[in-house]
Amino acid sequence: MSNSDLRGVISAVTTPLTQSFDVDAERLAGHCERLLNTGCSFVSTFGTTGEGASLSSQQKMVALEQLKAGGADLKRHIPSIMTPSADEAGRMIAKAASLGCRGVLVLPPFYYDAPSDEGIVAFINDAMTRAGRPDIDILLYNIPRFSRITYTPELIDRLIAKFGSAIVGLKDSTGVAANAVMLAERYPNLSIFTGDDRVMPGLVAAGGAGMIGGMPNVFCADLAKIYAAPTAPETAQLRQYAGERIAIVDSNGGMLALKAALAAIHDDPAWLRAVPPLQGLDSAQATSVLTALGKTGFVPSKAA
């Protein structure tokens, strides 16, 4: 299987920004390297947690080029493709392939209501044609809360029929454990990931691949321990903390709360920046998040 290595904890990386709201490639490179050295098998840039829908394809392609030029091992990077334009998707896919990225995580085209399965297949086919049909693995990004489109089994079957072994996996960000387990059981040859820490133990126990999510930005080492022993008594406390942590983050701005935690870890307020219309947490909000996370064992200087 070409995707046999696609397992473990993959961080959906938060994107550090310059004052002009461009990607801060230097900070991003350091953050990705830290994650890969503390338990993450891969990193996925420019997804929902990475503000991928707020950044232009050009900004993201420039950042990938800067990462490569700086020595990053892009064989361990899986950038997200988040655009309703097949032309932009194709250019992003082509760039990822030319730089040697491990694969791409493809969001279905959003904006128009209820496109047909045939339309979704046609969109990805058009994007791949515009990319020049590169030899790169495709992971499907199932997050209907934002895309309003679900990668159903029927749609997945159509995509496999069209693209064959190029479809290697799926990230299920529904947060519904039964859905993730169903996908893992139905598609044993695909790497099925969840986006939710709370779902990961049961999914891994059922044969799933692991998780691609935002929480590893801060808690990579703990989540790697859970992945390695998803049902063992020795990780019971960590599993409890993981559930409490994601609840705190989700109720305090999600990615914005993670950026506040990273600002504390790095003692660097630049991490608080978000691309408008989003705005970073203010000092009171950030303090509240850090205090709550502190009750789950979070210590900024030691977080990984």
Going by their DSSP bridges, the two strands 80-81 and 8-12 should be labelled as unpaired
12 strand-pairing partners: 44
Q: Is residue 51 part of a domain?
A: yes
Give the residue ranges of DSSP H helices in the chain: 25-37, 57-69, 86-98, 117-131, 144-147, 153-163, 177-186, 200-205, 216-228, 236-250, 255-266, 283-294
Q: Is residue 267 part of a domain?
A: no
Q: At 41, which amino acid appears? A: S
Q: Does residue 49 contact residue 214 with C-beta atoms inside 8 Å?
A: yes
Cβ contacts of 123 within 8 Å, gap of 6 or more: 86, 89, 108, 109, 115
Report the alpha-carbon distance of residue 220 to residue 224 in Å, rounded: 6
pLDDT tens, 220-229? 999 999 999 9
Report the alpha-carbon distance of residue 70 to residue 43 in Å, rounded: 16
Domain that holds residue 118: 8-230
Catalytically active residues are 48, 111, 141, 171
Q: Is residue 290 part of a domain?
A: no
Q: Is residue 294 part of a domain?
A: no
Q: Is residue 274 part of a domain?
A: no
Q: Is residue 204 part of a domain?
A: yes
Nearest CA to 269 among 279, 277, 278, 259? Answer: 259
Report the alpha-carbon distance of residue 227 to residue 9 in Å, rounded: 7
CATH number at residue 125: 3.20.20.70
Q: Is residue 17 part of a domain?
A: yes
Answer yes or no: pTM beyond 0.85: yes
> Could you read off the pLDDT tens digit of each residue along the chain, which spans 304 residues?
567 899 999 999 999 999 999 999 999 999 999 999 999 999 999 999 999 999 999 999 999 999 999 999 999 999 999 999 999 999 999 999 999 999 999 999 999 988 999 999 999 999 999 999 999 999 999 999 999 999 999 999 999 999 999 999 999 999 999 999 999 999 999 999 999 999 999 999 999 999 999 999 999 999 999 999 999 999 999 999 999 999 999 999 999 999 999 999 999 999 999 999 999 999 999 999 999 999 999 998 766 6
The 8-class DSSP code of residue 17 comes to B
The total number of structural domains in the chain stands at: 1
Q: Is residue 277 part of a domain?
A: no
